[in-house]
Amino acid sequence: MSAMLNAKIQPSGNDAASLIRPVLRGLNSLSTEIEASAVVSTDGLVIASVLAAETDADRFGAMCASLLALADRAAQEIGRGSLKQVLVEGEMGTMLLVHAGPEAVLAVAARPTINLGMVP
């Protein structure tokens, strides 16, 4: 998934969002199980997103970046090497966080029935 995003991520406001948002829409359309997605800077600023209207994008971005950063440090602390992904499973679904280049995070929210192995 993050390979699609690596080529053009340049956190320059609306330009980056206009390039990335169609990619996120395409990602969301790959499966009816994918409900939302976002690309967030490692500082927690939302670069582009396709989220539900009731989601506070700024708060979501900050939390995603923090989760990935903390998991990355925890993996290093216990000698697990470079972090590949963070998977958060809740009663209402799954959230996947992966690095999208050196300065961004891709967050994908899906229904609990998704087979993550089938998402490119």
Domain with 101 in it: 2-114
For 63, the token pair is 């939390």
Q: Is residue 54 part of a domain?
A: yes
Neighbours of 36 (CB within 10 A): 18
Q: Is residue 84 part of a domain?
A: yes
Model pLDDT for residues 36-86, shown as the tens digit of each residue: 999 999 999 999 999 989 999 999 999 999 999 999 999 999 999 989 999
Domain count for the chain? 1
Q: Is residue 28 part of a domain?
A: yes
CATH at 45: 3.30.450.30
Q: Is residue 119 part of a domain?
A: no
For 106, the token pair is 């891709």
Q: Is residue 120 part of a domain?
A: no
- What is the pLDDT, as a whole number, of residue 118? 63
What SS3 state is found at 22?
helix
- What is the pLDDT, as a whole number, of residue 65? 92
DSSP classification of residue 94? E
Q: Is residue 58 part of a domain?
A: yes
Instruction: Please write down the HEC assignment for all residues of 60-110.
Output: HHHHHHHHHHHHHHHHHHCCCCCCCEEEEEECCEEEEEEECCCCEEEEEEE
